[in-house]
Structure 1
Amino acid sequence: MPLVSIENTITIALSVTDRYKSAKWYENMLGFQTNFHSDEAGWSELQTKTTGVTIGLGEHTKPAPGNCVPVFGIADLDTARQKLEHAKVKFDGETDVVEGMVKTATFYDPDGNALMLAEDLTGGI
């Protein structure tokens, strides 16, 4: 039995220099559809052709090339984090919260690959 229960969503997070330009590229090249742009969070999200799988674009002035962080949807991030930390899973700092939008926490697998948990705070909007 797993320590935490992941929901039926995954967001593949990529670091980009211009979210709007990148979103247009994913729309034009791959047929993805932009769900939203959040200037406050520096984040854009696109729906892929696969149900439950989205591409998230995080805007950074100097993105790391070849980066990719799978983001797993979870109903209760705080409880999941507590369980994983108890199992000695390493997290990268504190949980980040964008009120009314999302709560996220980055953690690492045994090889140092970054993964993220995300709790939807929109109330299903």
Structure 2
Amino acid sequence: MATTLEAPAGAEALGYDGGLTCAISVTSLDAAIAWYQDVLGMTLLYRVDEIAWCEFASPVARVNIGLSQVEAVPQGGGATLTFGVVDIDAARAVLDAAGVRQDGPVQEIPAMVKLLTFYDPDGNALMFYQDIAPQG
């Protein structure tokens, strides 16, 4: 017999939009793009060289893989889960009320996305994003 699970009250207050981006650091965007396309068969959605970033559609609905070029990737790597929200300022207010440590103000890439980095109790980085790209 299946049990229906209800979302915790905080999930509604944060306003999740159902999207998830897993951000992964790489040392070469060119090499990583080729690998994710050729080995994993993922589809490149876009690339923004000015911020050394690209995103792939994964085979899982509304889950994207984002690659960020950095100088060095720590052993073991790690991904940053980036949850989509409908209103990043409202989501930030929920984090503020809970005393959650954040990495500065909301960042905006004009006509693309707003981002907010925050940390769980063990110091793991998580992010929220709000899509602000023109629709159409």
Aligned to 2:3: none
**What's the CA shift string for 1:63-117, capped at 9, x where partnerless?**
3341210000111101110121111011012221111111101001111111000
Larger Rg: 2
5+ residue gaps in structure 1?
Answer: none
TM-score, scaled to structure 2 = 0.86
Structure 1 stretches of at least 4 aligned residues deviating more than 3 Å after TM superposition: none
Aligned to 1:10: 20
Asked whether 1:19 is paired with 2:52, we answer no
**Cα RMSD over matched residues?**
1.3
Asked whether 1:30 is paired with 2:37, we answer no
Distance 2:113 2:30 in 1: 20
Q: Is the 8 A contact 1:77 1:118 kept in 2?
A: yes
Counting matched residue pairs gives: 125
Q: Is the 8 A contact 1:41 1:98 kept in 2?
A: no
Cα distance, 1:7 vs. partner?
Answer: 1.2
5+ residue gaps in structure 2?
Answer: 1-8
Q: Partner letter of residue 49 of structure 1?
A: P
Q: Which of 74, 79, 96 is residue 90 of structure 2 equivalent to?
A: 79
Percent identity, please.
35
